[in-house]
Structure 1
Amino acid sequence: MALEWSDSTDDMDWDELSELYRLAPLGNKSPEMLTTAFSNSLFKCFLRENGRLVGVGRALADGVDCSYICDVALLPSHQGHGLGAEIVGRLVELSRGHRKIILYAVPGKEAFYRKFGFERMATAMAIFEDQSLARQRGYISDG
């Protein structure tokens, strides 16, 4: 496996990135949406194999107080090989120095993120575009 790591969006094929999210599966995110999201993220991590985008992650950060790691995605063919852990590890390292590092995870993946020191927050709250779908998928609860 010839892997290449990058933090640059130069020459990014936003359609390819959109397809990666669809296949991961992390939902349908348009190339335009991803261009905006990654352009506004302080930290980015891209993983390519033989020029093909196979993994990605990003962190919104203010440089001092808060870094928020989100959108970690790998093609299914590359899951289960430690590459997701490497992406998260790189984003955590880049985020060091912030007073808090927050991570938004897919329900059921909490044990994976605990390996990096993440713990469940008692006070985290969210407003989703589709609250009922978020509730159905386990992102929010009535409790």
Structure 2
Amino acid sequence: MDSAAVDARAPADACGGGYQLLEAVPDAATYRHLREAAGLSPKTEEAARRGLAGTLFAVLVREGGETIGMGRVIGDGGSFYQVVDIAVLPGHQGKGLGKRIMAAISGYIEREAPPSAYISLIADGDAQHLYSQYGFVHTAPKSVGMAMLKH
């Protein structure tokens, strides 16, 4: 079920255990599968297609020919960046792959985001510990996240 769109800007990076990390945007089917299998909210085909087109940066983790993890950065490319879609298939969790994804995203942000850029994410459950390792802190009480989901 995998035919990720490869971004030719960066070669694959071996991340141990037979895994490879590469800068690439997943196709809509792979994206939807990873989100649902990793316990993130499902997205329609249309939402996935439109959203993926707005990706500033993305990484995939592959094992053999299968994409088993991903992470993306979206935003306006100047003032605002949001880290989204950090997902690793359950059978591959606990192997440091989330850290590899976040390290690649952090490298992108360090290289590309100008001073004063606001970088945000929504941390679900246990993932807060992972994100704090990359400099993310709680914004409350100064600000709190709010969301709206279109049904």
Higher strand content, 1 or 2: 2
| Aligned residue identity for 2:64 | N
Determine the C-alpha separation between the residues in 2 that align with 1:26 and 1:105: 12
Pick from 115, 118, 129 the counterpart of residue 136 of structure 2.
118
Which residue matches 2:33?
19
In the alignment, structure 1 segments of 5+ residues that lack a partner are 131-143
Map 1:66-85 onto structure 2 (within 5 A): 66-85=80-99
Contact 1:5 1:45 (8 Å CA) reproduced = yes
SS in 2 for 1:112: helix
In the alignment, structure 2 segments of 5+ residues that lack a partner are 1-16
Query: Over aligned residue pairs, what C-alpha RMSD do you find?
Result: 1.9
Contact 2:82 2:121 (8 Å CA) reproduced = yes
Which residue matches 2:52?
38
Displacement after TM superposition at 1:66 (Å) = 2.0
Contact 2:28 2:52 (8 Å CA) reproduced = no
Which residue matches 1:134?
none
TM-score (normalizing by structure 1): 0.79
SS in 2 for 1:34: helix
TM-score (normalizing by structure 2): 0.75
| Aligned residue identity for 2:121 | L
Aligned pairs, number: 128
Pick from 61, 66, 89 the counterpart of residue 103 of structure 2.
89
| Aligned residue identity for 2:22 | S
Identical columns (%): 27
